[in-house]
Amino acid sequence: MTEGLSGRGRAYDVVVAGSVNADLVVRVERRPGAGETVLGSDLVTHPGGKGANQAVAAARLGGRVAFLGRAGTDGHGDFVRETLRGDGVDTGHLITTPGANGVALITVDPSGDNSIIVSPGANAKVTEQDVAAARSLFADAAVVSLQLEIPLDAVVAAARTAAEEGARVVFNLSPAADVPDELIALCDPLVVNEHEAEFLGDARPAGLLARGARSVVITRGADGAVVADAHGVTEVPSPKVDVVDTTGAGDAFTGALCLRLAQGDGLATAARFAARVGAAAVRGEGAQSSFPTLEEL
């Protein structure tokens, strides 16, 4: 390996193309029904967005990480840029975009379960042209991590570009949406939770592999995960912990998974490590604020 380069001879372990949000969080005794008003706690603002969460999770664990996306020119945009940089994420391709930053409105109940509404803001303006302009970034990546909080055309372009540049594509189909078979075929692995797996029409690992993914990880919260590839199916347990807030736990898992794949772990081994990181993340409030460092883990 060339001195100063990371996994697979690349400058970055993980490059994330995705969303960056400000998470506006209120804790409630119970989440409201239709037409109902409930009182909650003081509003707390955390850095978030599925893409930024995954980038921070990998960086906190010692990975060399870069981010491609768009942030707004409002106060939330300033906030998310500063927090990414503070965690050591390379933001050279985080494009400043006139207007509002992405925002997530989150309610959390006493059990730690949450409900989330996302206003995409600048995230909705990520384009195929942004990806093309960042081709050198993908060439420098061992693993490229993708989700669906930016436009699908940009996600497909990023997956295609990553594959062309020899990077491993990890795609988290979240939030669940219809995607082209080309994107599924580039996934190694496709990462879904049980609801997202059902959205694809078959919650069995073998069924998802039949859709064309090279490998699959199905996350199951406190029950761990199931991984599947050409070598078979493996159950991965999760440590038992007291849950405070599940926000971002799946992103912590995926970021950790990407990092360990970039560092050369097999899929099942990487998923076992990622399950520990995801379990650690639910023990604190917020998304990125709860993500562990390697020492804390």
Residue 222 annotated in ligand binding: yes
Would residue 17 be called left, alpha or beta, if left means φ above 0 and alpha means ψ between -120 and 50 degrees?
A: beta
Q: Which tokens in the block code for residue 225?
A: 């995960």
Cross-sheet strand order for the sheet of 114-119:
44-48, 21-27, 102-108, 114-119
> Do the annotations mark residue 51 as ligand-binding?
yes
255 half-sphere exposure, CB direction, 13 A CA radius: 37
Beta bridge partners of 235: 226
- Report d(CA 117, CA 138) in Å as an integer: 30
Q: Is 284 known to sit in a ligand binding site?
A: yes
On whether 49 is known to bind a ligand per the annotation, the reply is yes
Tokens of 92: 């050279």
Dist. CA 162–CA 145, nearest whole Å: 10
| Angle 256-257-261 from CA coordinates, rounded to 5° | 115
Q: Is 223 annotated as a binding residue?
A: yes
132 is in an annotated binding site: no
Q: Please answer whether residues 219 and 191 qualify as being in contact, where contact means their C-beta atoms are separated by less than 8 angstroms.
A: yes
Q: Is 250 annotated as a binding residue?
A: yes
Residue 255 is labelled as binding a ligand: no
Measure the CA–CA gap between 226 and 275, rounded to whole angstroms.
11
The annotation status of 281 as a binding-site residue, yes or no, is: yes
42 is in an annotated binding site: no
Is 165 a known ligand-binding residue? no
Comparing CA positions, the residue from 99, 4, 89 lying closest to residue 47 is 89
Determine if residue 193 is labeled as part of a ligand binding site: yes
Angle at 274 between CA 269 and CA 275, to 5 degrees: 100
Whether 220 has a binding-site annotation, put simply, is yes
Confirm or deny that 168 is annotated as ligand binding. Answer: no
**Dihedral over alpha carbons 234, 240, 246, 248 (to 10 degrees):** -50
The reply to whether 100 sits in an annotated binding site is no
Q: Which of 13, 140, 188, 251 is catalytic?
A: 251
Catalytic residue status for 130: no
Annotated binding residue 21 = yes
What is the enclosing helix (H) or strand (E) of 146?
Answer: strand 141-146
Tell me the catalytic residues.
251
Question: Which residues sit in the known binding site for K(+)?
Answer: 245, 247, 281, 284, 286, 290
Question: Which residues sit in the known binding site?
Answer: 21-23, 49-53, 149, 193, 219-224, 245, 247, 250-251, 281, 284, 286, 290
Question: Which residues sit in the known binding site for ATP?
Answer: 193, 219-224, 250-251
